[in-house]
Amino acid sequence: MAEACASPTPAPSVGGGSLLIAWQLKDKHVLIVGGGEVASQRVESVLTADALITILSPAKGLHARTKQFIDTYPTRITYYDRRFSGAAEIHKMDMVLTALDDVNRSREICEMCRKAKVPVNAADIPDLCDFYFGAQIRDGPLQIMISTNGNGPRMAALMKKRLQDALSGKEGEAIERVGVLRAQLKDRASGVGGALGRKRMKWMSEVCNTWEVDELTQLDDTIITKLLDEGWEKNAVPTLDQLTGRQTRNITRPFQSHAFPQWLPVIASFALGAACTTLALLSRKR
Amino acid sequence: MAEACASPTPAPSVGGGSLLIAWQLKDKHVLIVGGGEVASQRVESVLTADALITILSPAKGLHARTKQFIDTYPTRITYYDRRFSGAAEIHKMDMVLTALDDVNRSREICEMCRKAKVPVNAADIPDLCDFYFGAQIRDGPLQIMISTNGNGPRMAALMKKRLQDALSGKEGEAIERVGVLRAQLKDRASGVGGALGRKRMKWMSEVCNTWEVDELTQLDDTIITKLLDEGWEKNAVPTLDQLTGRQTRNITRPFQSHAFPQWLPVIASFALGAACTTLALLSRKR
């Protein structure tokens, strides 16, 4: 489903950006002209999107990773050991990516694509591109793209690292399990739109808001059935603890626990200091 | 500049995703069919990318935000108080976005776009879309997109919140200042590619790696000149402290500071406890 843009008010800084989108390439034809390191990154990106790939590159120009992709995905990748020959190559294509050292050749290919209305990206020639790539994070169904709009790939890589550190690595699994819950809810309470659709959406939101990411990963078939029986059917959103009787929360959120406040060691030390001194002085008295 | 895909090894999970890209729309023509709430989100997204927008929607269907955009950006947005009339409307367009309640009409428009090879997104009809939208974070030149590949917009919104919490809100400014530094370095040491290009890239990376985000925001004209004089020219990467003589680090990173270790209050309390008890016992003795 198309995901809604979540910002409720006009952005403070309008303009100067790009339109960040998730392009759909399932079983679409993508031509990659070139076989070097950049080409290998392009192959990986479009493999992610389940494209059917054609690579044009003399064998001597193939990077080890490009070769590895060609060998690993023979049903997805068709490789030709030759250069780009002319406009006829792009006619059946849904997207063209060039990764060539030859800037003039790249420009020619881009012009052909523009005429044929085929979306095109030419590595390192931004003014010719319909779209740019960015730093990416992938965790199963979760994909994150970071673009600095041309202000330096290094900063994009730094932002990527910072965002990766903020994720636990379980988000992809959680999103997958929520997808399964959502599908089973739709089976149970089917129908498109209307009051039921809104109720379903609200209940799903409530679950996602109440349960932690770690807890969502535990949504196996048994717990999903329990959650639908005890929750959806009774118009409630029980916690994982309530469903299983286990004390999961304190295990999954140790840093938010209030069982051991930060000032406890300070008070304990004061008391210990006092006690030790009392004992020392009393023992000297005797 | 096209940003490189930063992953050095093949992704563990290939397939099942989208191609996340930053589409370029500067002064390109985008048709938005519909004027409701979803349409207003589309208007915002393409305004971000500096598109020239045409909106088709009967006035009674206009959402307050759509209206506000039309009033605020008269040179960017052309508004027609009528419905979509036929294929002729899309011929000059570079992209079409439909946000209609009428699914059949949306389907017809999508088919026209497909024939004319114009990229199209139909809100809530995923199978018709060339691309999807996702949750977005924008901070000046920094744009982040989060896609859950159809596994629920709620999880995308949750991920957005989590990532936003991980950012200080100064990243956009830092990226902007790094862009200025980069441009001034290119002026000073001009030329495309080659050994000089590599040296420039390496030095810029080193600066981005050494300086904190907060420090990068302080790159004004004076400090940039100092950094280029004392750093680039001398083949070094001085810290902000070294350039300014100020003790900035401890101010900008209070939580990483080692000047006030966590066990200090504990020891101090022990001593205080001991001292108080001693005083109390001694005063009783007298």
Q: Encoding tokens for residue B67?
A: 């209206």
Tally C-beta pairs within 8 A across A and B: 394
Question: In the prediction, which pLDDT does B3 show?
Answer: 38
Q: How far is CA B61 from CA A72, A239, B35, B66, in A?
A: 52, 41, 6, 10
Whether A192 contacts chain B with CB within 8 A: no
Q: Which residues of chain A from 17 to 36 reach within 8 Å of chain B, CB to CB?
A: 17-25
Q: Are strands A131-132 and A135-139 parallel, antiparallel or unpaired?
A: unpaired
Contact A204, B152 (CB under 8 A): yes
Q: What are the phi and psi torsion angles at A71 (to 5°)?
A: -70, -35
Looking at CA atoms only, how far is residue B244 from chain A in angstroms? 23
3-state class of B285 per DSSP?
Answer: helix
Question: In the prediction, which pLDDT does A93 show?
Answer: 97
For chain B, list the domains and their CATH numbers: 29-133 (3.40.50.720), 134-167 (3.30.160), 171-249 (no CATH)
Nearest CA among B91, B105, B33, B94 for reference residue B66? B33
Nearest CA among A17, A78, A18, A93 for reference residue A43? A78
ipTM value of the model? 0.76
Q: Closest residue of A to B171, CA-based?
A: A159
Q: How far does chain A reach from its first CA to its final CA, in angstroms?
A: 82
Question: In the prediction, which pLDDT does B286 show?
Answer: 58
Question: In the prediction, which pLDDT does B190 show?
Answer: 83
- Count CA atoms closer than 13 A to B173's CA, side-chain side: 13
Whether B67 contacts chain A with CB within 8 A: no
Nearest CA among B8, B11, B27 for reference residue B19? B11
Q: How far does chain B reach from its first CA to its final CA, in angstroms?
A: 81
Question: Which of A81, A124, A220, A229 is labelled catalytic?
Answer: A124
Question: In the prediction, which pLDDT does A273 show?
Answer: 79
Contact A144, B144 (CB under 8 A): yes
CB pair distance less than 8 Å for B146 and A143: yes
Nearest to A48 among B14, B265, B267 (CB): B14
CB pair distance less than 8 Å for B25 and A38: no
Burial class (CB in 10 A: 0-12, 13-18, 19+), A272: middle
Question: Which residues of chain B carry a pLDDT beneath 50?
Answer: 1-12, 249-260
Question: In the prediction, which pLDDT does A58 show?
Answer: 98
The 3-class SS string of chain A reads CCCCCCCCCCCCCCCCCCEEEEECCCCCEEEEECCCHHHHHHHHHHHHCCCEEEEECCHHHCCHHHHHHHHHCCCCEEEECCCCCCHHHHCCCCEEEECCCCHHHHHHHHHHHHHHCCCEEECCCHHHCCEECCEEEEECCEEEEEECCCCCHHHHHHHHHHHHHHCCCCHHHHHHHHHHHHHHHHHHCCCCCHHHHHHHHHHHHHHHHHCCHHHHCCCCHHHHHHHHHHCHHHCCCCCHHHHHCCCCHHHHCHHHCCCCCCCHHHHHHHHHHHHHHHHHHHHHHC
Scored b (16 or more CB within 10 A) or e, A93-114 reads bbbbbbbbeeeebbeebbebbe
Question: In the prediction, which pLDDT does B106 show?
Answer: 94
Burial class (CB in 10 A: 0-12, 13-18, 19+), A178: buried
- Which of B3, B138, B165, B260 should we substitute to test contact with A (largest number of A Cβ atoms within 10 Å)? B3
Whether B119 contacts chain A with CB within 8 A: yes
Using an 8 Å CB-CB cutoff, list chain B residues near A163. 144, 163, 166-167
Question: Which residues of chain A carry a pLDDT beneath 50?
Answer: 1-12, 249-260
Question: In the prediction, which pLDDT does B5 show?
Answer: 39
Question: In the prediction, which pLDDT does B59 show?
Answer: 97
The whole-angstrom separation of Cα B48 and Cα A11 is 8
CB pair distance less than 8 Å for A7 and B41: yes
- Give the residues across from A147 on adjacent strands: B143
For chain B, give the longest Cα–Cα distance: 104
CB pair distance less than 8 Å for A144 and B149: no
Q: Which residues of chain A from 194 to 253 reach within 8 Å of chain B, CB to CB?
A: 201, 204-205, 208-209
Q: How far is CA B31 from CA B80, B108, B120, B134, B153, in A?
A: 11, 15, 10, 19, 24
Question: Is there a catalytic annotation at residue A124?
Answer: yes
DSSP code of B87?
G
Looking at CA atoms only, how far is residue B195 from chain A in angstroms? 16
CB pair distance less than 8 Å for B156 and A3: yes
Question: In the prediction, which pLDDT does A277 show?
Answer: 79
